[in-house]
Structure 1
């Protein structure tokens, strides 16, 4: 934790500010979907994931999203999370072409099936935002 003196509520507030700056309804929907079954997991995603990690000064939001897209692609089986972070990537200023480039690069290290699954997630998000066809 960057600030050991920060309270639970302060960490959550810091995380919500970061989440608000990156995500739209999809990101918030993830947290809300946990309220009735795993509220502590939702709290930790916000307080630790966004408040302590994504708020760090070492990388810009665009760089963090590039890393996240690459990792989620490599992991496989993370289509829902990819969709949320593809949207977040667009929100922080990445272009659809840059996002597709991540998946092309990922194919070299993760394989074509995982890259194709990531592109399918991108197609869904891009279509919802009226960004297809790409030039």
Structure 2
């Protein structure tokens, strides 16, 4: 268990960066047992497994959160993806792919605002705009 706790804390700190202590304090204030479990089991045993790199796993988590309308979690994990090495461009491309699965409906509108809050608004080139229009059948 101590090995999982150490591994979990290292990954947690990497994902949350300079806000790590603040997030940890908030979690412990709300549920000390859950916060402890999350570090050891969630981050240590599950999320830090060697099969995927932290960056890849962060992108998977962001993709899973996009249609769920969970703004605080999505915001934190977008920032976590940046902290683990993803670029804003990669994250916007991920958003584009996932939002097409949901036909850019209500499931993804809130996510788009969250992406804009964290990454800033994206400006499309003429080529990208035309490709997007073709994809949508316009």
Fold similarity call, TM over 0.5? yes
2:95 corresponds in structure 1 to 103
1:21 corresponds in structure 2 to 14
1:134/1:40 CA distance change after superposition, 3 Å: farther
State the 4+ residue runs in structure 1 displaced beyond 4 angstroms.
132-135
- Bigger radius of gyration, 1 or 2? 2
CA deviations on 1:86-106 (whole Å, 9 max, x unpaired) are 111111121111111111111
- TM-score, structure 1 normalization: 0.78
**Aligned-pair CA distance for 1:77:** 2.6
Q: Is the deviation greater in 61-70 or in 108-117?
A: 108-117
Residue segments in structure 1 that go unaligned for 5+ positions in a row: 1-5
Q: 1:35 aligns with which of 21, 24, 28?
A: 28
Residue segments in structure 2 that go unaligned for 5+ positions in a row: 125-138
Q: CA RMSD in A?
A: 2.0
Q: How many residues align structurally?
A: 123
1:67/1:133 CA distance change after superposition, 3 Å: closer
Contact 1:100 1:119 in 2 (8 A): no
- TM-score, structure 2 normalization: 0.77
1:26/1:110 CA distance change after superposition, 3 Å: farther
